[in-house]
Amino acid sequence: MSTMLEKLTINYPYFFAVILLVIGALTVLTRSSLFKKLFGISIMESAVFIMFIAAGNIRGGTEPILNGHNTGAVYINPLPSALMLTGIVVSVSVNAFALALIMRLYKTYGTTDADRIAELRNEVTDK
């Protein structure tokens, strides 16, 4: 039990990442507002970003920049941060696209609630 607590405290970023992932997933799947679904996706992506970046961190390390004085220092791993920059850009594009779609749906149906849209759509097709 104590080792479990130790592991949790040492690995707290991953712990938070997992919690965020679950919150995000639940938000996407259970909330009916389109915006909230989008937020859920954002939260999930942030969770994964945190996981990666935390993996790159080395406690007591310095930033991975050579400045002539710090040879022999321990640098943190720059790769995950670089990768996650790509990930953040992807996330931004997805957000932009999703928001555009939400706007289009709002213009057509007058609401941003997924359940309400389904009702309206069934009414339209039933007509």
Partner 1 sequence: MMSSAAANMPVLVVIAPLFTAFVLTTLARRIRLVEGLVVFTGILVLIGSGFLAADVFNKETALIYQIGGWPAPWGIELKAGSVGVFFLLVASFVSVPVSLFSVNNLSDEVGGKERTARFYVLYLLLCGAMYGMAVTNDLFNVFVLVEVATLSCCGLVSSRNRPRAAEAAFTYLILATLGSTLILGGIGFIYIITGHLNMGFVHDELNRIWQSEPHVVWTSFSFMLVGFGVKSALFPLHVWLPDAHSTAPSPASAILSGIAVKGYLICLLKILYNVFGYTLMRAFAINTILVLAGSIAIIAGAVLALMQTELKRRLAFSTVSQIGYIIMGIGIMNTKGLSGTLFYLAGHAVAKAVLFLAAGAMISASGRKKISELAGIGRKMPVTMAAFTVGSLGLTGIPLFSGFVGKWYLILGSLESGSFFPAVVIIAGSILCAAYLFSVVRVAYFEPAPDENWKDPGLAQKIALIVLASAVLVLGILPDPFLELAGRAAEELLALK
Q: Does 20 bind partner 1 (CB under 8 A)?
A: no
- The token pair at 40 is 């859920």
- The token pair at 124 is 């339209």
Residues numbered 32-91 forming contacts with partner 1, rule: CB under 8 A: 34, 37-38, 41, 44-45, 47-48, 51-52, 55, 79-80, 83, 86-87, 90
47 exposure class (CB count in 10 Å sphere: 0-12, 13-18, 19+) = buried
Residues that bind partner 1 (CB under 8 A): 21, 24-25, 28, 34, 37-38, 41, 44-45, 47-48, 51-52, 55, 79-80, 83, 86-87, 90, 93-94, 97-98, 101-102, 104-105, 108-109, 117, 121
